[in-house]
Amino acid sequence: MMGGAGAVADVVCCCLRPVLLALAAMPLAAAEIVSYGRPSADIDREASYPVDLLQLALGKSGREYQLQPSAEVIPQSRAIALLRANEVIDVLWTVTSPERERLLLPVRVPIDRGVYGWRLFLIHADAQPRFDAVTELAGLAALTAGQGHDWPDLTILRAAGLKVTAGSSYDGLFEMLARERIDYYPRALPEVFVELQQRRQLPLSVETTLALHYPSAMYFFVSPANPQLATALELGLEQAIVDGSFQRLFDHYFGAAIAQARLGERKVLEIDNPLLPDLLTRSDPRYWFKPTADP
């Protein structure tokens, strides 16, 4: 009997071996490629944050995805046009606006937790006494800010009654400030200390007493033709919020700058954001950065 059983087993193994070999030779189901616009080579450190968060969210979405940068750097205006046409890239991240939400499909979880709406001022190294006297928005309105001519911040600041000179280039505004052609250059909290460090040769400093705040959010956007990717990203982001990995990644990138800003010691000047989509104001309070009193 044992001999017969062994013979049967040998026959079964012989029959199964070709099947198993064929299965082993079959490729695994390929992960879906998600392409994004390659950032410029000299981009600041915090620009890696959206890529890492994108990877985190896709990994928690319940589907198999593989991130892939574009072959070349894609400026934001072109990236928006490509995404709208569902070509070359599958996702981008940018500050939301009614126009962008009309053209693209937003994932309404603010990936920056609104921290880019918190602005500190780069000023000339000798200018601090002028800002020590500012205690309200009217006092700030007596000074001149600088912003890019095509930046949404230009519209936001002017709508608040602030005087703003429009510059033609990002780098040129630092030079304008160093030459005292403008009084201050509002920069997002995650940017300001890095930018100052990168321009140590200029006579600049971070203003020490004020912060400007307006509601703002950076979203992931996808093509309107790709709602399944939007759903996957939303599910993944929500899971990352629940398990704390979203907060840990945020703290890894921005915790040091937030601590250095010492917002609890600053006079916060609040202004409205006329470019803000109505839905943003009704979103989940878990999504937003709230400064705490400094120790």
Q: How do the domains of the chain map onto residue ranges?
A: 32-114+216-260+275-287, 118-213
Output the pLDDT for position 28: 45
Output the pLDDT for position 285: 84
Domain 32-114+216-260+275-287 listed as CATH 3.40.190.10: yes
Output the pLDDT for position 275: 85
Output the pLDDT for position 289: 93
Question: Residue 174: CB partners within 8 Å, gap ≥ 6?
Answer: 122, 185, 195, 199, 202, 204
Output the pLDDT for position 281: 57
What are the 10-residue block averages of pLDDT along the chain, 295 residues in total? Answer: 45 46 47 86 63 96 91 89 96 90 94 96 97 96 94 93 95 96 97 95 98 94 96 97 97 95 96 80 80 63
Measured between alpha carbons, how far apart are the two ends of the chain, in Å?
Answer: 82
Output the pLDDT for position 75: 86
Output the pLDDT for position 292: 78
Of 293, 291, 124, 144, the residue nearest 207 (C-alpha): 124
Output the pLDDT for position 293: 57
pLDDT tens string 27-55: 445 689 999 998 765 444 456 899 999 99
Output the pLDDT for position 30: 67
pTM of the predicted structure, to 2 decimals? 0.81
32-114+216-260+275-287 shares its CATH topology with 118-213: yes
Q: Which long-range contacts (CB under 8 A, 24 or more apart) does 158-166 make?
A: 159/271, 159/272, 159/274, 160/214, 160/271, 160/272, 161/137, 162/137, 162/271
Helix (H) or strand (E) holding 218: strand 218-222
Distance CA 51, CA 38 (A): 10
Tell me which CATH code domain 118-213 carries: 3.40.190.10
